[in-house]
Amino acid sequence: MVKLFVVLYSNIKIFSLSPNIHMYYIKFCLLFVQEVLCCRPGKQVDLQMDLISEFVFGEIEKRKKRSTTQAIQELQLIEIMSDFFQSPGGSPAVRNALFLSLFPADSPRYKILGNLVSLAIATQNKAVLNAAGIWMQQLGSTSPQSVGLARHVLNDYFVLTPRSIDKLKQLPVLTPHFTANLLTAIGEVYEDKDPPTELLRLVGEWIDENPSLLLTPLTDNPALPTGGIPMTPITPIAGLFRSFPS
Q: Answer whether residue 84 shows pLDDT above 80.
A: yes
Domain boundaries along the sequence of the chain: 103-243
Other beta carbons within 10 angstroms of residue 149's beta carbon come to 26
Are 37 and 48 within 8 A, CB to CB? yes
Report whether 167 contacts 121 (CB < 8 A): yes
> Looking at per-residue confidence, does 74 or 197 come out higher?
197
Asked if 161 contacts 122 with a C-beta cutoff of 8 angstroms, the reply is no
Q: Which of 19-23, 27-31, 64-68, 179-183 has the lowest mean pLDDT?
A: 64-68
Q: Which pLDDT does position 142 carry in this prediction?
A: 94
d(CA 151, CA 140): 15
Q: Which of 73-77, 219-223, 226-230 shows the highest mean pLDDT?
A: 73-77
Q: How confident is the model at residue 208 (pLDDT cuts 50, 70, 90)?
A: very high
| Band of pLDDT at residue 233, cut at 50, 70 and 90 | confident
What's the whole-model pTM score? Answer: 0.79
Confidence of residue 21 (pLDDT cuts 50, 70, 90): low
The CA distance from 44 to 56, in Å, is 17
So what's the pLDDT on residue 70?
A: 61
| Top-ranked range on mean pLDDT: pick from 53-57, 124-128, 155-159 | 124-128
Question: How confident is the model at residue 99, as a pLDDT?
Answer: 94
* pLDDT, averaged across the chain: 80
